[in-house]
Chains A and B, each alone.
Chain A
Amino acid sequence: MTFTRRAMLVGGGQMVIGGALAARMAYISIIDNDHYVLESESNRVNLTLVPPRRGWIVDRRGKALANNRVSLRIDLIPDRLHDKELVLRQLRTLLRLDGDAMERINRDLKAASGFQPVAVAEDLSEADYASILVRLPDLPGVAPQRGFARNYPTGAAVGHLIGYVGAPTAEEYQAANKDPLYITPGFRVGKDGLEKYFQPMLRGEPGAKRVEVTARGKVVRELDTTEDKQGKTVHLTIDADLQEYIARRMGRESGAAVVIDCDNGDILSFVSMPSFDPNSFSDGISNSEYSWLRADDHQPLINKATRGLYPPGSTLKPMAAIAAVEHGVDPSERHTCIGGYRLGSRFFRCLGTHGSVDMATAIMKSCNSYFYWLAHRLGYDAFAPTAKMLGLGEEFQLAGSNQRYGTIPDSAWKMRKYDQAWSASDSLNAIIGQGYVSVNPLQLAVMAARIASGRKLYPRLVNRQFRNDPLPYSADALAVARHGMDLVVNGPGGTAGRSRLPLDGIAMAGKTGTAQVRGLNTGNGKSGSWRFRDHGLFVCFAPVDKPKYAAGIVIEHGMGGSRAAAPVAKDFMTFLYDREKAMEALETFEAGWGGTIKERMDRDYMAWKTGASSDPDPEIPQ
């Protein structure tokens, strides 16, 4: 009976195992059912996010500074890219990519993580796009997409103001809690400037496309689609036409110009040139284009309007006049300029021999001697608070800007910084905007706007409320500064006399400045290589009798304010009142410079790529 017992045992063992299998199956399909249904769904359904269209950035009249255009694009998904070499070779042939593009793609592929897409090409023609579509089954890892690309109608003119967008980096993806949108092809985040600052507003909500896919990723059918929700529009105070005009008017110069509305602090233009074209960044800038931008000694990648620091030179004289009147100096009191000012054993030079001058005349002729005399008499500590009150050395609450705010020195500052006492010669240097003093062009514009309006205006790019209280200065003090500035342009022998507006009934007031790049003793700053020439500065407002527009302009190495900066101001102030006349002037200039900004940049880039110099000696536009 051994066999029967043992066979029963074996059969019993089989029953037990069979029962265990039934129990296991019941466990999987009942207890774990929800979990596996979910996994089966996520297998079956491929959720493709549709990147939202970015919100527009528009100027004060609703004109687009940044919008979107339809773009046919090809991306690579690194994780699905099995035969990288083959696919890249095919793409290279099909899309006629150059070595530059291949280098960038390879670099991006190395840096990309997993499913993070790498852009191969954007803005393809329908024909090129179709040529990829038909070969798609043989190109695993290639993802074609019909999407939107960021577009900047005025290109380089708004580069520093608007910033640019780009594909999110691995860090940004992590920071966004691995939001799958951040690894969706075609999605862009703001990388700089206003695009970055207003990213949450501009982003929008993604749409979604649900498709059923096979294990090999083949789409079986579309399930349903949700539309994307476009980002909100950002309204700027900028005047797009003025912005573009000034950018073009800068020509081949390197510099910055900020124009402020004297009624409310609206920034009407915010130009730093040369600039990059933000359009080239939005579809992934090529290595060589980026090197070209970096190699340019005019520094197109730096926003000079907020990040450029310059000795303000004589542009500080109207401010000094206000401070002096507030400290009891009679504006009609005269000082005789003998071509300089003697302080102990040192002789501080003036730019000319001006003879007997009063305060307004001293501003008009930019007489250093007069102001040396004031500074020696009152000490610079009497002037520094006024400089600060007018916005110099101040960091403004301004959307999307990263400011370097410079220095307005005084005795306490010097003691803190150098542990040295303030000397009379420091005062003399500071009063003519040299020495320790440094400011940025935005501050110069604010100073002009505050002097012109008599109020403590704060610059703004969006509709943001500031109190803009009246300045704590007497009408006399402000009047003498404004009168001096009026004379600079419209007076007999003013330093900016040639920049008088060619308009009836509208006059501009201003103050030129020349900032020495090297000391006075090492050259005259008027010749020699570009890098050692003096900076030209100009602050101004118009109309004189009822100020509406104020501006600060810096032309790097422009040799002098009256020569380089004031003519720019003359043309854009003209533009604000008489566009035709201003455009005529601009077109004449551009003919001499070799075309529009884009034409020049394209040519320079091509020249640079072929090894030729991209740095022709900047011509002086006169």
Chain B
Amino acid sequence: MIPVPAAVQRVPWKLIAILSGITGFGLLVLYSAAGGNWSPWALQQGVRFLVFLTVALVIGRFNIKIFEDFAYLGYIGILILLIAVELLGFVGGGSQRWLNLGFMNLQPSELMKVAIVLALARFYTQLPPGSTRTWTALWPALVMIGFPAALVMLQPDLGTALAICIGGVIVMFCAGLPFWWFGSTAAAGVAALPILFSFLHDYQQKRVLIFLDPESDPLGAGYHISQSKIAIGSGGIGGKGFLNGSQSHLDYLPEGHTDFIFATMAEEWGLIGGLVLLGLFFLLLRWSTRVALNARTRFGQLAAAGLTMTIFFYIAINLMMVMGLAPVVGIPLPLFSYGGSSMLTIMTCVGIVLAIENDTKKAGGRFR
């Protein structure tokens, strides 16, 4: 038996395999979506993946204390960036999301998804265990979630605002806040849906209405959903074969390389391809959930659970959208869709979870 060097042992090969599996599959789909070309998408996405994977592995070597110490600072800094977006951000694609820094366009709302989880994890770590069932455990968290969510809604970006809320709420839930608070809030939320609906922009309202009745606008906004379902449904069990998807190749499927990439994949790879991809995502989430369960510190537990939920939220909402179970909100499929912002967020999440795992391993196990 050849002894494996410690440096090699430290590298999380299984995680890298899962991430590469998802992204590699995505590259094949992007290659096909471009009509059998590495450009314009597949090659760039591959290079980007290597860069972000390196970033994630580097983040994973950081001491977990750094994230805990800088959680509030980072949160406030990104909140200021969000406000700056409101004041200075330029308008692109009908919404105000980017901050032009000269050398790149920064989308602070993406960073906020991570920051809110870390900030709340820090908050509940500091909170005395006896206070978790009191008012003190609730209102600061609500304020911390409410501000960025409201700012992102103003941009307007419904999907990201929901992602921020869900990440924060899961941290609160895992922190042990009373169960009935969540139950009654959910009930109140359902009751308040019509009011919330009225706060949505016209085009967002339209999307929701069309989601409820796609037939009402088959050529307009309902077109995305019906073409996506046609692509998935016509793939059948085995798919039409690599490079043979007519829906994506003939442009019937809009956004076939970004938000609707799952449909592009399913058309060519069928149900089997879909289940393989779901399986890879399951392995990724199982890994990060185990990290949360085994984490040594309370901060690690809460942060890992919240970040897992953030990743899951992307996957679930995107898949529900392409299968016609949710309205069309612009949320990409993690690591699979073409695009840098979401990959940056996901890889940052993965890196932090990796840091938590390393922290647990270093200490030789939980609570020791």
B288 to chain A, nearest CB (A): 10
Nearest B residue to A9, CB-CB:
B173
Query: Are B247 and A43 interface neighbours, CB within 8 A?
Result: yes
Nearest B residue to A40, CB-CB:
B234
Query: Are B229 and A36 interface neighbours, CB within 8 A?
Result: yes
In chain A, residues 1-50, which have Cβ atoms closer than 8 Å to a Cβ of chain B? 2-4, 6-8, 10-11, 14-15, 17-18, 21-22, 24-26, 28-30, 32-33, 35-37, 39-40, 43-44
Q: Which of A14, A30, A44 contacts B271 (CB 8 A)?
A: A30
- A170-211 interface bits toward B, Cβ cutoff 8 Å, 1 = contact, 0 = none: 000000000000000000000000000000000000000000
Query: Are A14 and B266 interface neighbours, CB within 8 A?
Result: no
The answer, yes or no, to whether B325 is at the interface (CB within 8 Å) is: yes
Query: Are B230 and A43 interface neighbours, CB within 8 A?
Result: yes
B338 to chain A, nearest CB (A): 19
Stretch from B103-111, B139-147, B208-216, B277-285 forming part of the interface with A = B277-285
Nearest A residue to B275, CB-CB:
A22
Query: Are B319 and A36 interface neighbours, CB within 8 A?
Result: no
The answer, yes or no, to whether B222 is at the interface (CB within 8 Å) is: no
How far does the alpha carbon of A2 sit from the alpha carbon of B170 in the complex, in Å?
Answer: 13
Q: Which residues of A contact B298 (CB under 8 A)?
A: 3
Interface size counted on chain A using CB atoms at 8 A:
35
The answer, yes or no, to whether A213 is at the interface (CB within 8 Å) is: yes
The answer, yes or no, to whether A127 is at the interface (CB within 8 Å) is: no
Q: Which of B175, B232, B274 contacts A36 (CB 8 A)?
A: B232
Q: Which residues of B contact A35 (CB under 8 A)?
A: 233
Q: Which of A17, A43, A215 contacts B316 (CB 8 A)?
A: A17
Query: Are B247 and A40 interface neighbours, CB within 8 A?
Result: yes
The answer, yes or no, to whether A214 is at the interface (CB within 8 Å) is: yes
Q: Which residues of A contact B176 (CB under 8 A)?
A: 2-3, 6
Interface size counted on chain B using CB atoms at 8 A:
45
Q: Which of A3, A213, A214, A216 contacts B174 (CB 8 A)?
A: A3
Known pairs A24-B323, A29-B271; A214 contacts B250 (CB<8 A): yes
The answer, yes or no, to whether A220 is at the interface (CB within 8 Å) is: yes
A-B contacts counted at CB < 8 A amount to 123
The answer, yes or no, to whether B342 is at the interface (CB within 8 Å) is: no
Q: Which residues of B contact A6 (CB under 8 A)?
A: 173-174, 176
In chain B, residues 272-321, which have Cβ atoms closer than 8 Å to a Cβ of chain A? 274-275, 278, 281-282, 285, 289, 292-293, 298, 301-302, 305, 308-309, 312, 316, 319-320
Query: Are B237 and A39 interface neighbours, CB within 8 A?
Result: no
Q: Which residues of A contact B270 (CB under 8 A)?
A: 29
Nearest A residue to B272, CB-CB:
A29
The answer, yes or no, to whether B236 is at the interface (CB within 8 Å) is: yes
- B233-247 interface bits toward A, Cβ cutoff 8 Å, 1 = contact, 0 = none: 111110000000011
Q: Which of B170, B232, B247, B250 contacts A10 (CB 8 A)?
A: B170
Nearest A residue to B223, CB-CB:
A215
Query: Are A28 and B305 interface neighbours, CB within 8 A?
Result: no
Q: Which residues of A contact B282 (CB under 8 A)?
A: 15, 18
The answer, yes or no, to whether B120 is at the interface (CB within 8 Å) is: no
In chain A, residues 98-134, which have Cβ atoms closer than 8 Å to a Cβ of chain B? none
The answer, yes or no, to whether A212 is at the interface (CB within 8 Å) is: yes
Q: Which residues of B contact A3 (CB under 8 A)?
A: 174-176, 298, 301-302, 305
Query: Are B320 and A36 interface neighbours, CB within 8 A?
Result: no
A2 to chain B, nearest CB (A): 4
Instruction: Please report A residues at the B interface, Cβ cutoff 8 Å.
Output: 2-4, 6-8, 10-11, 14-15, 17-18, 21-22, 24-26, 28-30, 32-33, 35-37, 39-40, 43-44, 212-216, 220
Instruction: Please report B residues at the A interface, Cβ cutoff 8 Å.
Output: 170, 173-176, 227, 229-237, 246-247, 250-252, 266-267, 270-271, 274-275, 278, 281-282, 285, 289, 292-293, 298, 301-302, 305, 308-309, 312, 316, 319-320, 323, 325
What are the 6 A-B residue pairs with the smallest beta carbon separation, nearest first? A36-B233, A40-B234, A215-B251, A2-B176, A36-B234, A44-B246
List, sorted by A's number, 27 A–B pairs whose CB atoms are closer than 8 Å: A2-B176, A3-B302, A3-B305, A7-B174, A7-B293, A10-B170, A11-B289, A15-B282, A17-B312, A17-B316, A18-B282, A21-B278, A21-B319, A21-B325, A25-B323, A28-B232, A29-B270, A32-B233, A35-B233, A36-B232, A40-B230, A40-B247, A43-B227, A43-B246, A215-B250, A215-B251, A215-B252
